[in-house]
Chain A
């Protein structure tokens, strides 16, 4: 057991820190949330990292990975969070990419991995349906083979950023008679295919991030099927396992706590900083301690992964605790800003230029951020489902 960095690791930290400082675009530093960004701005940092060769540290080297150790990847994540770089979109890099290089054929790897790495292809996730959320296997979207292609009909929902997507990875039923887990296939669908309609869903914070996607007689070439027909559930679960392990967000939460502390220093209670109020600082300490525990839990998971184990069902811990901590931090941040939590800060798509957002800059949008973050305990397999996974797979109940 050893937690200290070696001189080489410290040198690595200095190198990546300098790289971020020198290369992270000023234009992005001035933006607060993804809701305010154009498509090109969302991709800007992605493209810079791609050029540098650092876009997928978590991939095998043969597909574009950096070959970094667990510690180096940890340092990299810490440094990105420290500099508050825009989070990279996970749909290609962390979700479908690993599915393609693990289960796809050579042709598919050649065709799809380059666009994922470069950011030229924007991916979205066609998993949930109106009737299939927590019970994903009950999905109803159907794919019927006709000659050298499939005809897909159905609808998907909560599809994040589908409004920008070039491609969707999509689960559909290919065997109407088999039980759900043996009836699902995994398709890659070009969003320009006729028959696809994307309709926005506005969330309670006023933002437009998620969508409904309708598929009506969508013709998908058979070569866009991943792996074997009716084996899609295996790939889907593999993907969800990866999604969970990336979801802890430890480094970002550390940064969020730091921001919270700064807000609590600026906010006053009877002339004294809110941060000096015992009841408030105790709450920050509690969440900080939870986060430390999660950080070490994640490091233990990563260490096991580097020895070829996992990510196993334990990664559900990271999802549950990670999202609870993120939610708690946004809740405390809203609490910290006091009266100005009332203010509605318009999203990018609502702006006309005449909006008035009063109060200190750090207060703007904090209540909406709190409302929006309620989604984290719902998406990626609700936290109730994660409890079921641990109960069943880890505890054997």
Chain B
């Protein structure tokens, strides 16, 4: 039993930390979010140069041969700085689909573009009626010669305004919510029939609503097997949940530290408010929520490559923990900062907003409680 990080992993953390400390302070982040494009393409290139975009890919694929723990380290540090650049969407999700389900040809063609920072990807899976059920799809892909024709609508596709490539789930057979009949496609965002409308999100990112109207793709656009895509989607989104958990603990860590610091310095009634026992106990509860979340984040990242039932339980269990803890820590950090916690000026509210939205991504607490129960 050993929870220590390898030398390479410590080095990776130091690399990410020193980059973000230099170039991603809260004021810079505010400017990035307010800019026209909403993220920094030059930073994305620098992530590539630092090897971050290569971290989880095997050496045969041109990567650095890391695994979920390396992704976890990057995401945790990104969480501490509220990084908006689409690492999750491009490296974890699209990279995950290609790694887990891509053909050798697809891997050879597309992974270098991820590692090199040339391509940005988004994952178009959610539909308004489907909520968190990954199989509930009205988007269809009908056989058309050798290829397929896609029609449908995807909502809240995070990072899509920045992306040039999309991973899209569509129904190739079966009823609207059948487990069978789901297929995963690669679609160029610039393809004929793809139209997008972009907008900002409450947590400082960008998203699109995407309509697919008779979008033609070739047979080589399918990732994995036709009609059998759901298991792949679940596997990759579980990996994304493991990464999101790491982002969440990064945010919680910052909030807890800021809150303790604030309560040590903010004086009311002639003493620092941190002297009040009721606030001390609150901060202890926040600390415990964070520690429990760290534990679940380690757990899920260690188990995310295990067999399906074990993996599902790990991912859903972690998502429940970070959903609950993120809400508690976020709300209490705002409360203990008083009016200051409500302002746009302080970072506290921005962490709170991000933690709130992490609960929504890939299913909230209720969804994953149910999924955990059915996997157990």
Contacts and interface: CB of A to CB of B under 8 A. Distances in A.
Partners in one complex: yes
B104 interface: no
Contacts of A202: 343-345
A204 B199 contact: no
Contacts of A277: 366
Contacts of A384: 276, 278-279
Interface in B60-87: none
B369 A279 contact: yes
Interface in B269-296: 269-270, 273, 276, 278-279
Nearest to B208: A358
A268 B129 contact: yes
Nearest to B366: A279
B264 to A, nearest CB: 16
A133 interface: yes
A342 B136 contact: no
Contact of B338 (A133, A204, A271, A387): A133
Contact of A134 (B209, B268, B334, B366): B268
Given A201-B343, A371-B352, A343 B199 contact: yes
A375 B369 CA distance: 30
Nearest to B351: A204
Contacts of A279: 366, 369-370
A280 B366 contact: yes
Interface string A22-47: 00000000000000000000000000
B254 interface: no
A230 to B, nearest CB: 21
A192 interface: no
Interface string A368-387: 10110011011100111001
A343 B353 contact: no
A342 B203 contact: yes
A84 interface: no
A138 to B, nearest CB: 7
Given A271-B176, A342-B158, A204 B200 contact: no
Interface stretch (B10-18, B44-52, B220-228, B356-364): B356-364
A128 B357 contact: no
Contact of A358 (B133, B209, B353): B209
Interface in A187-228: 201-206, 210
A281 to B, nearest CB: 11
A343 B339 contact: no
Contacts of A359: 128, 155-156
A367 interface: yes
Contact of A371 (B131, B200, B353): B353
B326 to A, nearest CB: 13
A341 B344 contact: no
Contact of A270 (B133, B156, B201, B273): B133
A371 B349 contact: yes
Interface string B300-343: 00000000000000000000000000010001001100110111
Contacts of B356: 334, 341, 367, 370-371
B164 interface: no
A158 interface: yes
Interface residues of A, number: 54
Interface majority SS on A: helix, strand, loop or mixed? mixed
A78 interface: no
Contacts of B132: 269, 338
A374 B202 contact: no
A258 interface: no
A389 B369 CA distance: 39
Given A356-B199, A367-B202, A135 B268 contact: yes
Interface in B103-157: 126, 128-133, 136, 155-156
B200 A203 contact: no
Nearest to A391: B278
A202 B357 CA distance: 21
B286 to A, nearest CB: 15
B198 A356 contact: yes
B23 interface: no
A352 B200 CA distance: 14
Q: Which of A128, A342, A377 has the most CB of B within 10 A?
A: A342
B202 A341 contact: yes
Contacts of B198: 356
B216 interface: no
Given A158-B339, A270-B177, A342 B202 contact: yes
Interface of A: 128, 131-135, 138, 157-158, 201-206, 210, 267-271, 274, 277, 279-280, 331, 334-335, 338-344, 355-360, 367-368, 370-371, 374-375, 377-379, 382-384, 387
6 contacts: A270-B136, A279-B366, A279-B370, A334-B356, A339-B131, A341-B357
| 8 closest A-B pairs by CB | A204-B349, A135-B268, A339-B156, A202-B344, A342-B201, A344-B200, A358-B209, A135-B269
